Amino acid sequence: MKRLLPLVLTSVLLLALLVVSCTQEAPKPATTPPTASKRKLVAVGEATFAPFEFMDTKTNKPIGFDIDLISAIAEASGFTVEYKNLDWNSLVAALNNKEADLIVSGMSITDERALEVAFSDPYFASGQAWAVKEGSPIKTMEGLSGKTVAVQINTTGDFAAQKIDKMLTEKGKKGLTIKRLKNAADVFNELKVGGCDGLVCDLPVVQEYLKNNPQDKVVIPEPAFTVEYYGIAMRKADKDIHELINKGLAKIKVSGKYDEIYAKYFGK
């Protein structure tokens, strides 16, 4: 009997284990985890700067070269983007306050701005030009001596006008009276209503205005007198965003998407 006891106990234990295993739920088949949602970045710009950013009168939403560009970069780099229209002077503050992740607004890359923000690789070559009404006696830059010139405040057009003023005074001529206005649309309107003798603004923006408003009879007497490059501005600490933007920009240049967007707004 003593010899049979271990065998009996073993049999009972095995039976108990079998009963427990039968009552346990069968393991569920593995499921594929849900696809992670794309990262969303907020871009800001000032939508009076056609053809780079301007308001669609039908939808009341910003459209333009810069909006198409950042949308293509987002698709190429695998993130989504929301574009918001803000005043020009509030763009850098919105970036630094983390209300936005990107400034995409025809912003020229300058040493002064690079102290506050990080820029992407350049995406557009531009330059400053001055313009007057058709029939104006002003034919050369030196002819602006003693005249009133309208610019958008804190833009490279503003900075260029200040340099013209300095150049004129250093030559013993009268300088400029510079009218610093809130946005680009105000600058063109000021010339239209006769509130200034001329304006200084980015050449492609002046050209766009001439194309869309031939009745205003604005002319560009001389070629652009500066060379500038636009960049997308980001916070310096956001190295991962820098990489996303530059990789996406490189991809759309190689794929031909950049050329497609360029041709849409500027022709071939």
User: Which is nearest to 83 in space by CA: 48, 115, 43?
Assistant: 43
CB neighbours of 137 closer than 8 A, spacing ≥ 6?
143
Which three-class secondary structure string do you get for the chain? CCCHHHHHHHHHHHHHHHHHHHHCCCCCCCCCCCCCCCEEEEEEECCEECCCEEECCCCCCEECHHHHHHHHHHHHHCEEEEEEECCHHHHHHHHHCCCCCEECCCCECCCCHHHCCEECCCCEEECEEEEEECCCCCCCHHHHCCCEEEEECCCHHHHHHHHHHHHHHHCCCCCCEEEEECCHHHHHHHHHCCCCCEEEEEHHHHHHHHHHCHHHCEECCCCCCCCEEECCEECCCCHHHHHHHHHHHHHHHHHCHHHHHHHHHHCC
Q: What is the pLDDT of residue 9?
A: 38
- Dihedral angle sign, alpha carbons of residues 78, 79, 80, 84: negative
Question: Which long-range contacts does 154-158 make (Cβ < 8 Å, 24+ apart)?
Answer: 154/88, 154/89, 154/180, 155/88, 155/108, 155/201, 155/202, 156/108, 156/110, 156/128, 156/202, 156/226, 156/228, 157/128, 157/187, 157/199, 157/200, 157/201, 157/202, 158/200
Tens digits of pLDDT across the chain (268 residues) = 444 334 333 443 334 434 434 444 444 444 444 444 789 999 999 999 999 999 999 999 999 999 999 999 999 999 999 999 999 999 999 999 999 999 999 999 999 999 999 999 999 999 999 999 999 999 999 999 999 999 999 999 999 999 999 999 999 999 999 999 999 999 999 999 999 999 999 999 999 999 999 999 999 999 999 999 999 999 999 999 999 999 999 999 999 999 999 999 999 7
* pLDDT tens track for 150-195: 999 999 999 999 999 999 999 999 999 999 999 999 999 999 999 9
Report the pLDDT value the prediction gives residue 34, as an integer from 0 to 100.
Answer: 43
Q: Which domains does the chain have, with CATH numbers?
A: 39-125+230-266 (3.40.190.10), 128-226 (3.40.190.10)
